[in-house]
A and B are shown apart, each in its own frame.
Chain A
Amino acid sequence: MIREYTTTVEISGPLMLVDRVEGVAYEELVEIELPSGEIRHGKVLEIDSRMALVQLFEGSSGTGITESRVRFLGKQVELGVSEEMLGRVFDGQGRPRAPFDTAPPIVPEKMKNINGAPINPYARDYPAEFIQTGFSSIDGINTLVRGQKLPVFSGSGLPHSAVAAQIARQARVVGEGESFAVVFAAMGITFEEADYFIRDFRKTGAMDRAVVFMNLASDPAIERISTPRMALTAAEYLAYEKDMHILVILTDMTNYCDALREISAARKEVPGRRGYPGYLYTDLSSIYERAGRIKGRKGSITQIPILTMPEDDKTHPIPDLTGYITEGQLILNRELHKKGIYPPMDVMESLSRLKDKGIGKGKTRDDHADLFNQLMAAYSAGKDARELAVILGAAALSPLDQKYLKFAEEYEKRYISQGEHENRNIEETLDLGWELLKLLPRNEMKRIDPGRLDRYWPVSEEESD
């Protein structure tokens, strides 16, 4: 049943208030026809027995109170899905997006509500399969596993796009040839950034295995609310109904949150920190928690959301709340970037919470966990020594501290840093770790199991340097 009204009484920002409506449901999809014949879309944000508050996806410019014809479509926002989506570029509402995609719309196999439903925690399968990204700083230290959500916290001017594209290009599960695809959602990024990804995907052949949803900086901001949900709906379809392993890249979540703040401000809600709505945590979780694995289903959804931290501040509400929901974070560091280290991964502040189940014997190698702990402890000691050297001068350091200092330098130069097209496998990463540890005295290896230490670093080798 479609009902049409011309009883709009108020338009303010992206919101429209329609009076004397009947039988309208909460979150119902709305079509607004302008006098020019142009169709805009929206959804019901609040409803009482007389009025409906409608959120306009494409913004309110050009809409008028008397001339807009408002139609309530009797369904919620949906996305038509099918396997034909692979290789296509859509806009924030699921229509083919020119100039990247000029082909006709896909023929949907079925329609899916873009809000999804929460996965029953009892139905989840714990992510435990190691994904090799080819980055030592990720695979060795902050290991990514299938079904994890691991965001990249970046700052303006840092190479997060290059890192994300490289992950999308290289990521694979060791020793398996299962079907793998990337779902990419761009929210409010510039044409240049979007073009970088699309061209990279095309050049490397990744495009055939990719679905792209694109809302650029020049597109309506409010559309950004639905863009990630569209992308995840497509991802869920491919993962859980077509048995594919999906890597979802969402960039830039900061723009998404700003769009949410815009709506909240227009609704005159009580603002939380920095003007963001109090429900930002809940809202973000409804996106991030759509990552995962489900028992008895083959596919999986792994998420890498990217966000730029305003002023590189990790305590800003967006990175803060994201970090509380996601299973760790990869933090890019401006200081390392200036030193010319790519990827400028701050391994100390980065963390992958799920790595413990994804590493070790049968997954990566039995020494992985100990090696990781030791490398982290040594790098930390090396950074302390570096600080000390700034105050006292390097010559005043104890011989042990000098060794740690040397270790930290080499670690950054050889372990963290690598080429934009260098794809290291896990064996190479682990062996490199041992090689670097041997810059230190053997009795400093407190975090390594004695038996394992003997195996990977026999006592006889100690004096070799």
Chain B
Amino acid sequence: MSLTTIIFDNGGHNMKIGTIDSESPRLVPNSIVKAKHEKKRVFVAHEQEECSDKFSLFYVRPIERGYVVNWDTQQQIWEKTFGSMDVEASTSRIALTDNNYLIPALPDVSSEILFDYFGFTEVHKTSASTLVAKHSNKINNEKCAVVVDSGFSWTTVASFVNGMLIQDSVIRIDVGGKALTNKLKDWVSYRQLNVSEETYVINECKEDLCFVSQNFDESMKEARNRFQENTTMKRYIMPDFHSTFRGVVKDVKEPHDPQIPSIHLGVERFAIPEILFNPSDIDIDQCGVAEAVIESICQCPEALRPALAENIIVIGGSSCFPGFRERLEREVRSMLPAEYGLNVSNDVINPQTHSWHCGQELLTASKVPWINRKDWDERGDSLEFSNFFQTLVQSDELKGTRNFDDQREKSPKEDEDF
């Protein structure tokens, strides 16, 4: 009997999981949630739907800054998820995304859990950006690709040639959906209503109301208008989780019930996604996503740059803001040399699940390396990275350039002055 293949995109906010024959993946929250009103249980992964009252949720997340750091929490979440899908691990193999195979930073412990604890037969590791790039190379026959992954923990831009990562071109911006939601909570809590504990509700509010402005200065002028002429200001009626379960967007001119709590957003609607394009707006000393695309292309060999600019693919949940693609295209166009063509791909229907679908087509149509239990017992860590982390420049060629003092980012030591 042939093995069942499971494709598992382990995102920081939602996991995208499904078998290779599925029509579309399931979206399962990658967190354990505790509620104030429910003292007798916690809600693991998809059980979050059973939580009736989503005020003041407390999240226990395994992933921090894009990497799994709490492996026992992650194991419990995976156990609950595999159990709900009725996965028989002994006759299955799994393709798992992990950001260590885009930017290696932490030890990868997942194989031990997948082989020893769950009993899978074979494992394939990759990252979401690599799946998209290899799909573009093998299915769409594009030689070069730039993948912009704007997710929950961060935003990365990486360039690939023939599906292989050009490691110098990887740019990491420490702004993702989590930072945007936290910043929106800060702003609303200071300006209107204390929502600092309402992560779930404000995250939904961000998804419903925020948009990327195509002309920031004009939007700022519009937001300064008086009440009657202001078309940016909207009112968001908070859900009460008895009769309403998701907030309602209304115009501020419509009458509303003062008993129901609500917030009105004006400047915040476009200033929140603007942080992705200008992190310096909130004092993060990094460039935005459009400048990162230019920087990534410029770090590649000269001959590849025109082809890279012709194939830019945007994925990730934080790129779902309306207008994100158009704004990125316009800004990158203004910074590219005039003789380069530019094409931001239109094929991404759902940026959240696009990498899963790319993995599905890739694993169906072409061969990828798998490692089994016996191979992993012999060589383990080095085998994984030599098989799954494919870069244009090999490790031996970097021997003289990597030493421990070569750090571009230095964490500042905090000396308390208060």
Same complex? no
- Residues of A whose CB lies within 8 Å of any CB of B are none
